[in-house]
Amino acid sequence: MSRLGSIVRDGDIVSGALLAALGTYIISKASTWDYMTTNGPGPGFFPLWYGICIVVLSLGLVGCALFRGVGEAHEPIDWRGVGRAIVTWLAFVVATAFMPYLGFVIAFTLLCFCLIHVVFRQSLLRAIVASVAITAVFKLIFVVLLQLDLPIGALGI
């Protein structure tokens, strides 16, 4: 296999490059927002630094992968782990997409349930109890203590 083929097949290099692109996009968007306002940090403050961190760390990942040598013997791919990672990302995407319709409480509870029951393979009862408890704590922190509004769905929850 050619060196370029080895680089393309190395997960650290590919994921690092994709994360660097994502970080660059975040920086480009955040730089158009106010960095500081009269009340303190503006809406661009956190995303800008988040994007910078993503770029720096992802380039570090690529650099480490290149330094260790592309194509060196790796452990075999854990396909179950890959599947669980994909399920996790899909759960986040679905929860985010349906949050405006279901509201935070239902969408976040379903997200937690999916992660606990499907990804971490806990019992149905444990997943239900933990999902409801985690959602209640989040609602307590954000709505009661921080007095922030969370998305409310069609059911008014």
Given this model, what pLDDT does residue 2 score?
55
Are the CB atoms for 130 and 111 separated by under 8 Å?
no
pLDDT tens digits, 47-103: 999 999 999 999 999 998 888 765 555 677 788 988 999 999 999 999 999 999 999
Given this model, what pLDDT does residue 33 score?
A: 93
Rounded to 10 degrees, what is the CA torsion of 8, 14, 18, 19?
-160
Parse the chain into domains and list their residue ranges.
1-74, 78-157
pLDDT mean across residues, the chain = 89
In angstroms, the Cα distances linking 136 to 35, 105, 143, 150 are 33, 8, 10, 12
Contact between 114 and 91 under an 8 Å Cβ cutoff? The reply is yes
pLDDT: which is higher, 149 or 136? 136
Task: Give the whole-number percent of the chain exceeding pLDDT 70.
Answer: 90
